[in-house]
Structure 1
Amino acid sequence: MENRKKVAFYTLGCKLNFSETSTIARNLQDEGFDRVDFEEVADMYVINTCSVTENADKQFKQVVRKAMKLNDKAFVAAVGCYAQLKPEELASVDGVDLVLGATEKFKLADYINDLSKNDFGEVHSCEIAEADFYVGSYSIGDRTRAFLKVQDGCDYKCTYCTIPLARGISRSDELENVLKNASEISKQNIKEIVLTGVNIGDYGKGEFGNKKHEHTFLELVQELDKVEGIERLRISSIEPNLLKNETIEFVSKSRTFVPHFHIPLQSGSNDILKLMKRRYQREVYTERVNKIREVMPHACIGVDVIVGFPGETDEHFLETYHFLNEMNISYLHVFTYSERDNTEAASMEGVVPANVRAKRSKMLRGLSVKKRRAFYESQLGTNRTVLFESENKEGYIHGFTENYVKVKTPWNPELVNTLHEINLTKIDEDGSVRMEFASALV
């Protein structure tokens, strides 16, 4: 047993990356590695990269430096989206030994020999057209909730996005496999599962991205709702054109699916949506939000929005601002547009100056604070169920209600990973909500 090597992981980016990191880690544990925290000395450091965040290369270099500081003889492997898009760039970073693209990342163990450092980073990345098979993943043991991957890749051609280049065509897991994974998670005393993918509303496309839909997203949701032992299921980001009324209605009556939707808008201007090649207009978005509010008035609705896209004038931006201001939504994730190689938008006219992008971003972030506050205020005095997290933050334990209100109460280790009915009492200075237990603690 003393020959077992130590491996540490660092994940940049989305929930999907977290689920895949977890799967890669389990694969390596089966190959004789012990997983340790990234802050610890390890024989190998694996960095799962992201191409969406700004300064992806800068973030990556910082993480590599951190690993090298912990153990300058450690083997460093880069996997994931940025590793697929810019493999040579990552391989040239001092300290990097191996770079694996989209199809190779799940075969990491096959590319490791004796963990001795390479003079130059070794690259194994495919043509993205070869990324046509599906590898199921879920995260477990990392948090009080699990991320369950149900879909990968994307067939959309949004002009700002590199994800189809990094992850390939849209393809889905088989329904039986998703249910099997969900059942495995439920046996690990994990109370909440978050469904994740690149474009999960597109669920149903087969192994090879064929257009034959074996099962729809609605059928997936209906079947998952029957899995024994799961307390909560949460849908992560879903495109407005793929979120059907039937799904919204099902969630409203469901046993386990919570009233929380995260729906990318990207712009409140139809002119900009057209330039982005989004597959809907803002009227569709309004319909979705109204439908959710009709059947689940207390639902939490999150919105992705991009500011500073080429061609976005002050008028276009104000159109977005007013659209969001008037809509009954709960919070915003604001992204400042940044140019990406090999995307259509990178060569578009009407480039928005960086200082204007920053100003618009600040305005929308301010709007998000206002929206979240108004949503939290609307929930005061109501009874909700909270799932407590595992961290002690300055003497408090935090958790989230089913409709994604962040609550806090004095630290009690017995509350970790437990569900309780509570009453929301008042908003604290830090923006979270104080609570009282609706019934005595068991």
Structure 2
Amino acid sequence: MSKKVAFYTLGCKLNFSETSTIARSFEQEGFDRVEFSDVADIYVINTCSVTENADKRFKTIVKKAQEINKDAFVIAVGCYAQLKPEELADVEGVDLVLGATEKFKVTDYLNDLSKNDFGVVHSCEINEADFYVGSYSVGDRTRAFLKVQDGCDYKCTYCTIPLARGISRSDKLENVLQNAREISGQGIKEIVLTGVNIGDYGKGEFGNKKHEHTFLDLVKALDKVKGIERLRISSIEPNLLKNETIDFVSESKTFVPHFHIPLQSGSDNILKKMRRRYLSGLYVDRVKKIKKTMPQACIGVDVIVGFPGETDEKFLETYNFLNELDISYLHVFTFSERDNTPAAEMENPIPLKIRKKRSKMLRGLSAKKRRAFYESQLGGEFTVLFEGENKGGYIQGFTENYVKVKAPWNPELVNTLQKIKLTEIDDDGLVRFERVETAIAI
């Protein structure tokens, strides 16, 4: 009887795409993939280190795996496994910890699945993570996360990602296109491009800084792949989002008018302390350019609160900056000190209570922004891609510009694109609609 393996992913879309690739390597070795809540012989946990909370959640997930099967072999991979392998190995129940380069060869380490008395670590020095492994996730029938780039050469003072993932490097253009064709062949309607710093796309393996292709080359090539209904750019640095890319997206039939652009702070003083590669003026220019070419575009923003030295005045600078900006929603992160980062040693740390209060204020602003954006789209006609889950008797989906809609559950709508007209915002904040015509793609 074949062995069973289950996976749990913490963190970003990139992690989800890599979990899928690791899962396929197990399937090729004859393992059966099961849900994490099922009894399995091996549990693989793909870790994240972006927030302190993700570190804590790891222990909870290990405990959950042991409750399901106390004899199961537990493996930790991912960013936290690269940064703090010994710490993970010390967690009761963990048998194997694999770093940044080893995680894609996980089946090579499975000679013996008997429980270890202590966790065994296989972790490279991060400067050895100089090769590229392409991946994509197809767990969801309607959309896939396609990894196009890994690592980062930026030195933001709060960030551990370069320590966890190594230098910036990219997949070859033909490989990305081949993966996109494979995804399309599985009937998936939407591809989300993902990576650590996707605007830096084009740097080769082994630290080769020469860009063979640019991000714009990638976007133009993907736009020609037959069978893909929608392409979405996940998150792109403002200094790497060029006018030419915005113009191309505005005219593309497959790339949708949705951008997620990290800001982190509206205070130029704090941006400099963070070592970001732009100031607030450039960010304003990016937003204005998008809204000028695509008035209905959705713009999401990452922002960090409670960075060392963020006085009340500087926080209000960020709040007012975002309040006045024509954006659609925020992802708010509360600053947490990460080992081996310059920000952890900076003067004037902000008390945790104040960080949490500021975070709450910005989450409130995000809700206000999203509501205003949704209201501005009412009466408009859009195309919605419906998802596969029955949520309390409703089916949900997203328009091309990321408005979340709902309708009474109808399994025939799953993974179809429908022309709709947005009519009203429901009590739960989702948008109701009326159908304009029948399915345009099944």
Selected match of 2:29 from 9, 28, 31? 31
Distance (Å, rounded) in 1 between the aligned partners of 2:71 and 2:439: 50
In the alignment, is the contact (CA less than 8 A) between 2:129 and 2:165 conserved in 1?
yes
What corresponds to 1:175 in structure 2?
A: 173
What corresponds to 1:221 in structure 2?
A: 219
SS of residue in 2 equivalent to 1:77: strand
SS of residue in 2 equivalent to 1:10: strand
Distance (Å, rounded) in 1 between the aligned partners of 2:421 and 2:34: 38
Note if 1:109 corresponds to 2:107. yes
Provide closer, same or farther for how the CA distance between residues 201 and 440 of structure 1 changes in structure 2, counting only shifts above 3 A: closer
In the alignment, is the contact (CA less than 8 A) between 2:418 and 2:438 conserved in 1?
no
- Structure 1: 4+ residue segments shifted above 6 A: none
* Number of matched pairs: 440
SS of residue in 2 equivalent to 1:177: helix
Note if 1:299 corresponds to 2:297. yes
What corresponds to 1:133 in structure 2?
A: 131
Distance (Å, rounded) in 2 between the aligned partners of 1:182 and 1:190: 10
SS of residue in 1 equivalent to 2:322: helix
What corresponds to 1:435 in structure 2?
A: 433
Q: Give, in angstroms, the shift of residue 55 of structure 1.
A: 2.2
TM-score (norm 2): 0.99
Selected match of 2:285 from 284, 287, 293? 287
SS of residue in 2 equivalent to 1:164: helix
Distance (Å, rounded) in 2 between the aligned partners of 1:199 and 1:272: 21
What corresponds to 1:193 in structure 2?
A: 191
Distance (Å, rounded) in 1 between the aligned partners of 2:384 and 2:347: 48
Distance (Å, rounded) in 1 between the aligned partners of 2:194 and 2:206: 19
TM-score (norm 1): 0.99
Selected match of 1:206 from 188, 204, 223? 204
Note if 1:41 corresponds to 2:18. no
Distance (Å, rounded) in 1 between the aligned partners of 2:25 and 2:184: 20
Note if 1:376 corresponds to 2:374. yes
Distance (Å, rounded) in 2 between the aligned partners of 1:359 and 1:353: 10
SS of residue in 2 equivalent to 1:366: helix
Distance (Å, rounded) in 2 between the aligned partners of 1:54 and 1:147: 25
SS of residue in 2 equivalent to 1:338: coil
Note if 1:75 corresponds to 2:73. yes
Distance (Å, rounded) in 2 between the aligned partners of 1:34 and 1:441: 35
Note if 1:320 corresponds to 2:342. no
Distance (Å, rounded) in 1 between the aligned partners of 2:138 and 2:301: 27
Q: Give, in angstroms, the shift of residue 210 of structure 1.
A: 1.5
Distance (Å, rounded) in 2 between the aligned partners of 1:391 and 1:228: 27
Q: Give, in angstroms, the shift of residue 101 of structure 1.
A: 0.3
In structure 1, the gaps of 5 or more residues are none
Q: Give, in angstroms, the shift of residue 208 of structure 1.
A: 1.6
What corresponds to 1:245 in structure 2?
A: 243
Selected match of 1:344 from 342, 345, 350? 342
What corresponds to 1:426 in structure 2?
A: 424
Q: Give, in angstroms, the shift of residue 441 of structure 1.
A: 5.7
What corresponds to 2:357 in structure 1?
A: 359
Distance (Å, rounded) in 1 between the aligned partners of 2:325 and 2:207: 36
What corresponds to 1:256 in structure 2?
A: 254
Q: Deviations over 1:79-102 (max 9, x none)?
A: 000000000000011110000000
- Aligned CA RMSD, in angstroms, stands at 0.8
Q: Deviations over 1:77-131 (max 9, x none)?
A: 0000000000000001111000000000000000011311111100000100000
Distance (Å, rounded) in 2 between the aligned partners of 1:91 and 1:288: 44
What corresponds to 1:14 in structure 2?
A: 12
SS of residue in 2 equivalent to 1:384: strand
In the alignment, is the contact (CA less than 8 A) between 2:304 and 2:333 conserved in 1?
yes
Distance (Å, rounded) in 1 between the aligned partners of 2:262 and 2:106: 33
Provide closer, same or farther for how the CA distance between residues 193 and 370 of structure 1 changes in structure 2, counting only shifts above 3 A: same
Distance (Å, rounded) in 2 between the aligned partners of 1:19 and 1:13: 11
SS of residue in 2 equivalent to 1:390: coil
Residue 220 of structure 1 aligns to which amino acid in structure 2?
L
Selected match of 2:276 from 254, 275, 278? 278
Identity %: 80
Note if 1:93 corresponds to 2:91. yes
Note if 1:119 corresponds to 2:117. yes
Residue 147 of structure 1 aligns to which amino acid in structure 2?
F
Of stretches 135-144 and 236-245 in structure 1, the one that deviates more from structure 2 is: 135-144
Residue 177 of structure 1 aligns to which amino acid in structure 2?
N
In structure 2, the gaps of 5 or more residues are none
Q: Give, in angstroms, the shift of residue 143 of structure 1.
A: 4.4
Q: Deviations over 1:234-275 (max 9, x none)?
A: 000000000000000000000200000000000000000000
Of stretches 90-99 and 136-145 in structure 1, the one that deviates more from structure 2 is: 136-145
What corresponds to 1:233 in structure 2?
A: 231
Residue 149 of structure 2 aligns to which amino acid in structure 1?
Q
Distance (Å, rounded) in 1 between the aligned partners of 2:139 and 2:339: 36
SS of residue in 2 equivalent to 1:386: strand
Distance (Å, rounded) in 2 between the aligned partners of 1:168 and 1:261: 25
SS of residue in 2 equivalent to 1:392: coil
